[in-house]
Amino acid sequence: MVERISERSAGMVKVFAPAKINLFLAVMGKRDDGYHELCSVLGKLSIADSLEIRRKNGERGIKIKCPEYKDLETENNLACIAVKKWLLKRGEDWGVDLILHKQLPPMSGLGGGSSDAVSALLAMNELGDEKLSRKEIIKMAAEIGSDCPSFLENGLCMAEGRGEMVRTINHSAAHNLIGQKVLLFRPNIGLSTPDVFQRLSQTNEFSSVEWVHTRLGMWEKQKISITEFLHNDLESAVFYKHRYFSAIFEKIKKTFGLAPQMSGSGSCCFVLIPDEFERVAALESLIYQAWGDDSWVKFTEIIH
């Protein structure tokens, strides 16, 4: 199981919940169950939320505090849902206090909520009388959200199906990306994942399975670089309405020769920063100038 614990004492566990970016995200069509069939290559980032979970013996119920985002202090928070599911499945009955410190803005395509839920499951496994097996945790994660199981794998991984079928990628093209510097940038607006998928469905602009397999094969055999491999089918479903995305992407390409991309269903975008690139400050200024001082810009890196 992945290691997410950063601190531990009697009845308390602190866990971190890393962000993800989708380096490659192809959507192949809409399924009968309403979800979309996809194929994605995801990387985990050093930037993370942190979650403190306390076991309260002799008490009942789940309390959550989220100082940075008060509106996330509800039982619908995916971390609360994860805790509730864990207690129900294990048949244990004690109170839980959660303190969620969010670095990752919600509705960004960085998987923050899903990662919080997975880290909550792992923390509960530490605090409980008995653990759930890895298989049970994976199943529970997939029930909570399509991209949750990908947070149970180390390193780069490939997600298929609705996103819940996950495997690690173990070739050198993937290993080379560990430690890769990344600049995240997000306009001061969140996007709804269902809305973005629905828009893509309306346009019917899906990738063919053949094209996806060809691209994956070329990247794995290192016939194309990561920059050439970057792809996200959900961009068109967002950019048609929010034209400032294409505008800033063009500026970044023209001014710096870098290749920006949106992560997941947005609104956060990223650009891979080569080691020799010395103009990060200028790139950040360009983003703030284009999207305003209230945009969110963070320098981070891909982790194992």
Residue numbers at the binding site for ligand C5P (CB under 6 A): 35-36, 38, 145-146, 162-163, 193-194, 197
Nearest to 95 by CA among 106, 84, 105: 84
Which residue blocks in the chain are alpha helix, DSSP H? Answer: 78-90, 112-127, 134-144, 172-175, 193-203, 209-220, 226-229, 235-239, 244-256, 280-291
Report in angstroms how near the CB of residue 233 gets to ligand C5P at its nearest: 11
Cα 261 to Cα 109: distance, rounded to the nearest angstrom: 11
Which lies closer to ligand C5P via its Cβ, residue 127 or residue 138? 138
Q: Which two tokens stand for residue 158?
A: 């490939």
Quote the least distance from Cβ 33 to ligand C5P, whole Å: 9
* Residue (101 or 162) nearer to ligand C5P, CB: 162
**Min dist. Cβ of residue 194 to ligand C5P (A):** 3
Q: What are 2's two structure tokens?
A: 């992945």
* Cβ 83 to ligand C5P shortest distance, Å: 17
Q: How far is the CB of 192 from ligand C5P (least distance, A)?
A: 8
Q: In the complex with ligand C5P, which residue's Cβ is closer, 235 or 248?
A: 235
Which residues make beta-bridge pairs with 56?
Answer: 95
- If the CB atoms of residues 146 and 295 are measured against ligand C5P, the closer one turns out to be 146
Residues carrying an active site annotation:
20, 147
- Residues 142, 150: Cα–Cα separation, whole Å: 9
Report, in Å, the least distance between residue 30 CB and ligand C5P: 7
Nearer to ligand C5P, 76 or 172 (CB): 76
The residue behind tokens 């969140």 is 190
Residues in the chain: 304
- Given a contact cutoff of 8 angstroms between Cβ atoms, the answer to whether 234 and 197 are in contact is yes
Strands (E), 1-146: 5-9, 12-30, 36-56, 62-65, 95-101
CA distance 217 to 302: 22
Q: Which residue's entry shows tokens 């979970």?
A: 53
| Closest CB to ligand C5P among residues 40, 50 | 40
* Angle, alpha carbons 117-157-69 (nearest 5°): 30
